[in-house]
């Protein structure tokens, strides 16, 4: 293997390892919500999607409000989710909030995965 090939492989490996550190599965989120864990679940979908159903206790923070957040407690972790695995809104929100100093993780698979796991839904 060439040095360039090894370097590219190392970058891919580091990317995947980093992603694992910033994602959480829906069933893990459900478990955290049942304990007294310092987290806030944030649904980054638009309000019309949120009112149709969301993770219990989640707050709705659509993209138009991302730059307006302030006063988040540093010791709280923001668990972000959007529509599905292919929707990139949660990842984009994670970047925005992390730049603002927030501790963030993305719920893998979004609200679709939450429902597929037959977890409780609030309307």
Q: What architecture is domain 22-116?
A: 3-Layer(aba) Sandwich (3.40)
pLDDT class for 100, splitting at 50, 70, 90? Answer: confident
Q: What is the pLDDT of residues 34-75, one digit of tens each?
A: 987 789 999 999 999 999 999 999 999 999 999 877 767 667
Q: What is the pLDDT of residues 5-25, one digit of tens each?
A: 656 665 655 544 455 468 999
How far apart are alpha carbons 91 and 36 in whole angstroms? 25
pLDDT class for 4, splitting at 50, 70, 90? Answer: low
Which DSSP state fits 35?
T
Q: What was the pLDDT predicted at 83?
A: 98
**What SS3 string covers 47-116?**
HHHHCCCECCCCEECCHHHHHHCCCCCCCCEEEEECCCCCCCHHHHHHHHHHHCCCEEEEECCHHHHHHH
Q: Nearest 5 degrees, angle CA 83-CA 89-CA 91?
A: 115
Q: What was the pLDDT predicted at 17?
A: 47
pLDDT class for 26, splitting at 50, 70, 90? Answer: very high
How far apart are alpha carbons 20 and 6 in whole angstroms? 21
Per-chain mean pLDDT for the chain: 87
């Amino acid at each position: 293997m060439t040095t360039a090939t090894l370097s590219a492989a190392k970058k891919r490996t580091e990317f995947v390892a980093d992603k694992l550190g910033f994602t959480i599965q829906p069933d893990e989120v459900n478990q955290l919500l049942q304990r007294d864990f310092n987290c806030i679940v944030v649904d980054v979908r638009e309000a019309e999607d949120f009112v149709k159903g969301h993770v219990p206790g989640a707050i709705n923070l659509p993209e138009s409000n991302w730059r307006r957040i302030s006063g988040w407690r540093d010791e709280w972790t923001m668990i972000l989710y959007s529509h599905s695995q292919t929707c990139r809104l949660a990842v984009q929100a994670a970047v925005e909030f992390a730049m603002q100093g927030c501790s963030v993780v993305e719920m893998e698979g979004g609200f679709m995965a939450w429902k597929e796991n037959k977890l409780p839904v609030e309307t």
